[in-house]
A = this chain, B = another copy of it.
Amino acid sequence: MFSKSCEYGLRAVIFIAQQSHLGHKASLTSISQAVDSPPAFTAKILQQLVKNNLIDSSKGPKGGFFMAPEAMKNLTLEAVVSVLDGDSIYTNCGLGLKQCNDKKPCPLHFKFVAIKEELQAMLQNTTLIMLVNEMNLDRFHLKR
């Protein structure tokens, strides 16, 4: 469904949001331990998210990755996926045709479109703050 980069990125962002909500910055080490992802690879992914202003970072001791409370309310999973995997998951043909549209559809086009729209809506409608609040219920996991 998503690339490994995107999976790690989503898990990392959720963890960062949790920590930010508690007033902590999350170091690369703490993130990759919390979400069980390779540290150096995770660093690259987080760099992309910082560059695209989805999250913030600061160097030095006491540094790490974090999000402003404001950002947490506005940041959707869709934005994260968009930066890491692009919009191909919504716009590509499920059968791999070079273009996907209603004019020249593959035999499964309309069925795929319905599912892809549902996925996109779900990601667009889920903000980080929503997940953080749910996660407080302590039922949900980010590793294994």
On A, residues with C-beta under 8 Å from B are 1-2, 4, 7-8, 10-11, 14, 77, 89, 92, 94-99, 104-109, 111, 115, 118-119, 122, 126, 131, 134-135, 139-144
Contact = CB atoms under 8 A, between A and B. Distances in A.
Copies of this chain, count: 2
A8 B105 contact: no
A132 to B, nearest CB: 9
B126 A108 contact: yes
Contact of A143 (B94, B97, B126): B97
A90 to B, nearest CB: 10
5 contacts: A1-B92, A2-B94, A11-B106, A105-B141, A107-B131
A92 B2 CA distance: 11
Contacts of A96: 2, 4, 7-8, 11
Contacts of A119: 115
A105 B11 CA distance: 13
Contacts of A99: 144
